[in-house]
Amino acid sequence: MGRTARVSRKTSETDVAVELNLDGVGRHTIQTQIPFLDHMLAQLATHGLFDLSIEARGDLQVDLHHTVEDVGIALGEAFAQALGDKRGIRRFASVLIPLDEALARVVLDISGRPYLVYEAPQLKGRVGSFDVTLVKEFMRALAIHMKVNLHVGILYGENSHHCVEAIFKALARSLDQATAIDPRIADVPSTKGSL
């Protein structure tokens, strides 16, 4: 059956459909109507080696916020669904990724206890039409609905595009590492017996 998921989320503001294969090769089809978000989600699929399809329509005439957040919610739910009981996963990951002058760090624990720590005070303004403060909203939605403890930070960097892209690449590699099956782990990786 594989570690796959299909999630739909429809509200009066957005309509989002996500298909995810954790054990993919990075194939992706992303159409959110927000070009910069599409570019970042393509980084997530490519560098996480996830096969990922996302189609989203939203009230962009109001703001990008609803669509960005709801894509994060649906993607978080898809990861949670694909992981199932989390048996055999590595659970933890810590990754540093550079992009030119920027250095991003993402550390996560697929703990079942959602929490976000987000430290990127230099991320202000816009990349094209994309308000970079929405990156935090995306990460919060993902963390809550995937039920993951997620720490995201920019250690340094000046160019907002570089900083955000480094974050998404670090998130991709972290998710790949933490969701990977380790043949030495026979059960759920917790002394509690569940995550």
Task: Report the candidate in 9, 4, 190, 164 with the shortest Cα–Cα distance to residue 91.
Answer: 190
pLDDT at 68: 98
pLDDT tens-digit series, residues 156-174: 999 999 999 999 999 999 9
Residue 192 has pLDDT above 80, yes or no: no
pLDDT tens-digit series, residues 101-134: 999 999 999 999 999 999 999 999 999 999 999 9
Name the pLDDT band for 65 (thresholds 50, 70, 90): very high
Predicted TM-score (pTM) above 0.85: yes
pLDDT at 1: 58
CATH architecture of the domain with residue range 4-179: 2-Layer Sandwich (3.30)
pLDDT tens-digit series, residues 21-39: 999 999 999 999 999 999 9
Strands 28-31 and 14-21: unpaired
Task: Report the candidate in 195, 101, 96, 83 with the shortest Cα–Cα distance to residue 151.
Answer: 96
